[in-house]
Structure 1
Amino acid sequence: MDNEAVRRVHWSFWLISVVALLWNVGGAINYFMQTNLEFVATLPETHRAIIEGRPAWATGGFAIGVFGGAIGCLLLLFRKSTSFYVFVASLLGIIVTMIHTTDVASSKINFSAAEIFVMILLPIIVAAILIWYTKLAIRKSWIE
């Protein structure tokens, strides 16, 4: 990539990449915080139900989702097109863990519409947008 291509990257690329990295690092921090039983005990019943009953396959999906998202954002900031594939893996991990989360949300525990949006829909939406944005960046030759 030459200097001409480096100058052509729109400032929004950096803003979106950094905000996405912060979002995914927050997810990674959340992943580690959920391993602390004292922290989990302070959460609302709805959150505890998801965490305490999460099977290993859903925990694996959660890890792939959040760490894949963070790594994808770093690759995006380094302007590597492989970020696309990492974001796809991240979305698949999110979908796997959301199978369990949706099952818990449809149980007798009353989840609010806001909880369903933030805990189930928003991660999927963000991951899908990052895949789309990475494709856009590839098409505009912002990343190699």
Structure 2
Amino acid sequence: MTKTETKPPLYFWVIAIVSLFWNAMGVNAYIQQVYKTATFTSMYTAEQLKLIEATPTWAMAAFAIAVFAGFLGCVSLVLRKRFAQQLFLLSMVGIVVQMYYNLFVSNSLEIFGPVAAIMPLTVVAIGLLLYYFSKTSIQKSWLR
């Protein structure tokens, strides 16, 4: 028996496109941090840059997994592919590992202040919402 496809509503496309841009910004942030662009370094104090540069490889790998899996998950949503859910799950693993480092291992709260907690919580919330949105989209046969 084959599942029938259902045409997704307009809000599906709005969420898919907006989340694609959100995750593209995450990929951009990762690339700027890795390549230490002038734009990136100009946003931080010397103390903040020192903390960022001390980020261990495992935390940077988690950052890469989080943003690239999230971006590919959004591309999958736009293409209406079921494996978006697995990509968002992988992204969530990366997010959790990265946020564990940022909030509990490094002293980012001390150096960056409350923003060091607000942005990570926002990223976690959006990551969870995208995972559940993809799961719901599969259940409603919007993804194939």
TM-score tier after normalising by the smaller chain length:
0.7 to 0.9
CA distance 1:14–1:116, shift in 2 (3 Å)? same
**What's the offset of the Cα at 1:105?**
4.2
Which residue does the alignment assign to 2:32?
Answer: 33
Which residue does the alignment assign to 1:22?
Answer: 21
TM-score (norm 1): 0.86
- CA RMSD in angstroms comes to 2.1
CA distance 1:47–1:71, shift in 2 (3 Å)? farther
Which residue does the alignment assign to 1:104?
Answer: 106
- How many residue pairs get aligned? The number is 139
Which residue does the alignment assign to 2:136?
Answer: 136
The alignment-based identity, stated in percent, is 30
CA distance 1:131–1:23, shift in 2 (3 Å)? same
Q: Distance in 2 between matches of 1:16 and 1:107?
A: 31
Of 13-22 and 96-105, more deviation after overlay is shown by 96-105
Residues 48, 112 of structure 2: 8 Å contact kept: no
Query: Secondary structure, in 3 states, of the residue corresponding to 1:59?
Result: helix
**What's the offset of the Cα at 1:84?**
0.2
Which residue type is aligned with residue 24 of structure 1?
N
Which residue does the alignment assign to 2:92?
Answer: 91
Q: Distance in 2 between matches of 1:28 and 1:13?
A: 22
Query: Structure 1 stretches of 5 or more lacking a match?
Result: none
Q: Distance in 2 between matches of 1:126 and 1:59?
A: 20
**What's the offset of the Cα at 1:97?**
1.1
Query: Structure 2 stretches of 5 or more lacking a match?
Result: none
Which residue type is aligned with residue 104 of structure 1?
S
1:125 aligns with 2:125: yes
Q: Distance in 2 between matches of 1:15 and 1:126?
A: 15
Matches within 5 A, 1:47-58: 47-58=48-59
Q: Distance in 2 between matches of 1:83 and 1:12?
A: 17
Residues 64, 93 of structure 1: 8 Å contact kept: yes
TM-score (norm 2): 0.86
Which residue does the alignment assign to 2:6?
Answer: 5
